[in-house]
């Protein structure tokens, strides 16, 4: 008879890991035994003839062999470890034994040490993301655009969730079996995934290019010479870098597909960076007019 397997895609927060332990114990009682635990999914094998109690530990282990042996000596069977430092153990369940026999930590100091390890990492990561959020806030203030706004929101959400988790792990007794915690983490992952995808996609859709025009002299005046078509795929702020040098005032303009001028500058010597343009969706062209020699460089993103 072939073995039956199933995969669970439930998501748990690190600061409420005890909820995962309880779900693993309940699954074992129903005949599903953990084969491999994971951060985003776990694999089970059907075996109703046996029952386990599960526990998790967290931390970076230097001597994995000795670590596993230490738990084995206490009756715990090692299952596997995740990439981010969670370790799964199980012990055969005997209903005649007291519940204390199924605690992986024999004293409160050991449990506190495990919680402190995760809390320290979570608070540090939350602080780093908070610092990045500040950098993006400054960037958004100087050159606001939609991709940067989305990135800022994602960073703020990540930072807030990690800091919250770190603070909870400092006082884990008050956080066990928090209702809605799984939904919060699922929403957190969705915000991160969708936010990063959206910001990267929007960034790639922006018209990022550079072009130039120059002539030491002109035989006849150049009037409304249009070149360098570009497309704006979504309304947002776009930024123009413009350098103009000429023997007499020249005119640079951006025109839309209706022939309307959306930006114009007339100077003989001009150097500007990050000139903000609020552009709706559509097709655009650069245009220049000059009666003398000129040197023109421009880019937009």
Residue 1 pLDDT: 45
User: Which CATH number belongs to the domain containing residue 214 in this structure?
Assistant: 2.60.120.380
Residue position matching structure tokens 């439930």: 10
The residue among 205, 235, 253 that closes a domain is 205
Are residues 20 and 93 both part of a single domain?
Answer: yes
Are residues 78 and 118 both part of a single domain?
Answer: no
Reading phi first (left if > 0) and then psi (alpha if -120 to 50, else beta), residue 158 is in alpha
The residue among 181, 205, 229 that closes a domain is 205
Cβ-based burial of 4 (10 A; exposed 0-12, middle 13-18, buried ≥19): exposed
Whether residue 205 contacts residue 234, with contact meaning beta carbons closer than 8 Å, is answered with yes
Residue 281 pLDDT: 95
* pTM, rounded to two decimals: 0.72
Are residues 200 and 221 both part of a single domain?
Answer: no
The residue among 170, 205, 240 that closes a domain is 205
Full 3-state SS string of the chain: CCCCEEEECCCCCHHHHHHHHHHHHHHHHCCEEEEECCCCCEEEEECCCCCEEEEEEECCCCCHHHHHHHHHHCCCEEEEECCCCEEEEEEECCCCCCHHHHCCCCCHHHHHHHHHHHHHHHHHHHHHHHHHHHHHHHHHHHCCCHHHHHHHHHHHHHHHHHHHHHHHHHCHHHCCCCCCHHHHHHHHHHHHHHHHHHHHHHHHHCCCEEEEEEECCCCCCEEEEEEEEEEECCCEEEEEEEEEEEEEEEEEEEEECCCCEEEEEEEEEEEEEEEEEEECCEEEEEEEEECCCEEEEEEEC
Are residues 50 and 69 both part of a single domain?
Answer: yes
Are residues 163 and 226 both part of a single domain?
Answer: no
Instruction: State the residue range of the domain holding 226.
Output: 209-300
Report residue 129 as tokens. Answer: 């993301």
Are residues 174 and 242 both part of a single domain?
Answer: no
Are residues 142 and 168 both part of a single domain?
Answer: yes
Closest C-alpha among 92, 120, 90 to residue 104: 90
Cβ-based burial of 51 (10 A; exposed 0-12, middle 13-18, buried ≥19): middle
Which residues, in sequence order, are CB contacts of 20 under 8 Å at separation 6+?
10, 12, 56
Reading phi first (left if > 0) and then psi (alpha if -120 to 50, else beta), residue 224 is in left
Report residue 138 as tokens. Answer: 């400054």
Report residue 11 as tokens. Answer: 């998501």
Are residues 245 and 197 both part of a single domain?
Answer: no
Are residues 116 and 196 both part of a single domain?
Answer: yes
Question: Number of folded domains in the chain?
Answer: 3
Are residues 117 and 194 both part of a single domain?
Answer: yes
Are residues 17 and 89 both part of a single domain?
Answer: yes
Are residues 13 and 98 both part of a single domain?
Answer: yes
| Positions in the chain whose pLDDT score sits under 50 | 1, 175, 177
> Beta strands 52-58 and 209-215: pairing type?
unpaired
């Amino acid at each position: 008879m072939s073995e039956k397997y199933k995969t669970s895609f439930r998501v748990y927060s690190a600061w409420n890991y005890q909820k995962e332990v309880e779900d693993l114990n309940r699954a074992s009682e129903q005949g599903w035994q953990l084969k491999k635990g994971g951060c985003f999914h776990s694999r089970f094998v059907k075996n109703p003839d046996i029952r386990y109690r599960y526990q998790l530990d967290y931390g970076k282990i230097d001597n994995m062999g000795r670590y596993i042996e230490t738990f084995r000596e206490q009756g715990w069977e090692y299952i596997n470890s995740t990439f981010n430092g969670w370790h799964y153990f199980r012990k055969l369940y005997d209903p005649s034994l007291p519940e204390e026999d199924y605690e992986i930590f024999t004293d409160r100091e050991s449990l506190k040490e495990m919680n402190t390890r995760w809390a320290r990492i979570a608070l540090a990561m939350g602080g780093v993301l908070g610092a990045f959020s500040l950098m993006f806030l400054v960037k958004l203030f100087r050159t606001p655009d939609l991709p940067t706004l989305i990135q800022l929101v994602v960073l703020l959400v990540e930072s807030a969730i990690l800091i919250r988790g770190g603070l909870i792990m400092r006082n884990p007794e008050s956080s066990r079996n928090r209702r809605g915690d799984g939904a919060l983490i699922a929403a957190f992952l969705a915000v991160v995934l969708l936010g990063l995808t959206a910001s990267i996609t929007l960034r790639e859709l922006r018209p990022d290019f550079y072009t130039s025009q120059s002539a030491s002299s002109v035989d006849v005046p150049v009037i409304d010479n249009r070149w360098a078509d570009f497309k704006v795929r979504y309304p947002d702020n776009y930024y123009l870098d413009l350098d103009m040098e000429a023997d007499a005032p020249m005119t640079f303009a951006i025109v839309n597909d209706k022939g309307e001028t959306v930006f114009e500058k007339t100077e003989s010597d001009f150097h500007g960076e990050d000139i903000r343009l609020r552009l709706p969706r559509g097709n655009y062209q650069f245009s220049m007019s000059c009666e003398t020699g000129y040197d023109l460089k421009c880019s937009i993103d």
